[in-house]
């Protein structure tokens, strides 16, 4: 019998917007010797059949791509336009060179609009940028329709839905491959009915869990754990973790089937 074909998920960054360690902090987690407590800003790479799909491009993307030997980025899905999720966009130009082509950047229309505003020299370059042939990313914005409509991206099928992120909105992202589903909600402050539907029965679910104390823009660790337990997913992971809890301490208290994500972790889908 042939082995089941699988996709590979790589956690590029498991940390919150500040990263861990935080600048100037000497707390036990920020000074921890456990490499799992070093948390770069969020990013995730999914690959199958020679196709690489990137979810968010953090300011740490260059370091993440080198550390994880990311060979291809064929498409990017942007969850929202906060700095810790998009400020590595310029580093995608190296993949334009390697792949000799442009890269599609997918997201909900408001997210693409905000991304284009920040990166005008990429998405709406002045004439002199074009005339001088300056080295910039060649990225093509592509609008993703909202859940339940699915969009094929290489060997994957992607669905996306808005979720509250404090006063703003982010996107929950579902990636399907060979009938198996990954659901990622890296930044959310509440589990909407649509997100609960997406999470239910997922093969891999990765969800925001910042800390124990309440936060206006993120789920608490308890809320993230509850959402994963209710979803009855096969494997659950908590992401976007701050510096108030160590990996070992969080791992020890989570129920079976749920783990804290860590940088460099490889998950099969």
Task: Indicate the pTM of the whole model.
Answer: 0.94
Residue 92: exposure state from Cβ atoms within 10 A (0-12, 13-18, ≥19): buried
Per-residue confidence band for 202, with pLDDT thresholds at 50, 70 and 90: very high
Give me the CATH code for the 8-268 domain, please.
3.60.15.10
Distances (CA, A) of 171 to 21, 49, 154: 26, 26, 20
What residues does each domain of the chain span? 8-268
**pLDDT per residue over 113-126, tens digit each?**
999 999 999 998 87
Tokens of 70: 């990311």
Q: CA 124, CA 197: separation in Å to the nearest integer?
A: 37
Q: Which residues of 237-264 are buried (b: 16+ CB within 10 A; e: fewer)?
A: bbbbbbbbbbbeebeeebeeebbbbbbb
DSSP H or E run through 235:
strand 235-239
**pLDDT per residue over 93-115, tens digit each?**
999 999 999 999 999 999 999 99
Calculate the average pLDDT of the chain.
Answer: 95
Vertex 84 angle, CA 104 and 195, to 5°: 75
């Amino acid at each position: 019998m042939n082995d089941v074909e699988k996709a590979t998920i790589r956690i590029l960054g498991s940390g919150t917007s500040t990263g861990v360690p935080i600048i100037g902090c000497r707390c036990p987690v920020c000074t921890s010797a456990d490499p799992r407590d070093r948390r770069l800003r969020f990013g995730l790479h999914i690959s199958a059949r020679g196709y690489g799909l990137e979810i968010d491009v953090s300011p740490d993307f260059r370091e993440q791509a080198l550390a994880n030997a990311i060979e291809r980025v064929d498409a990017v899905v942007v969850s929202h336009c906060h700095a810790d999720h998009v400020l590595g966009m310029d580093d995608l130009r190296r993949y334009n060179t390697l792949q000799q082509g442009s890269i599609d950047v997918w997201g909900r229309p408001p997210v693409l609009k905000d991304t284009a505003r920040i990166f005008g020299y990429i998405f709406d370059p002045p004439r002199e940028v074009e005339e001088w042939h300056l080295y910039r990313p060649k990225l093509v914005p592509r609008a993703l329709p909202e859940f339940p409509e699915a969009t094929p991206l290489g060997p994957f099928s992607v669905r996306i839905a808005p979720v509250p992120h404090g006063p703003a909105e982010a996107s929950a992202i579902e990636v399907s491959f060979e009938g198996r589903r990954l659901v990622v909600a890296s930044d959310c402050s509440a589990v909407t009915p649509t997100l609960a539907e997406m999470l239910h029965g997922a093969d891999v679910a990765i969800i925001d869990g910042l800390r124990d104390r309440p936060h206006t823009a993120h789920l608490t660790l308890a809320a993230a754990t509850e959402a994963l337990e209710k979803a009855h997913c096969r494997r659950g992971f908590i992401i976007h973790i701050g510096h108030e809890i160590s990996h070992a301490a969080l791992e020890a208290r989570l129920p079976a089937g749920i783990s804290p994500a860590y940088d460099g972790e490889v998950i099969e889908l």
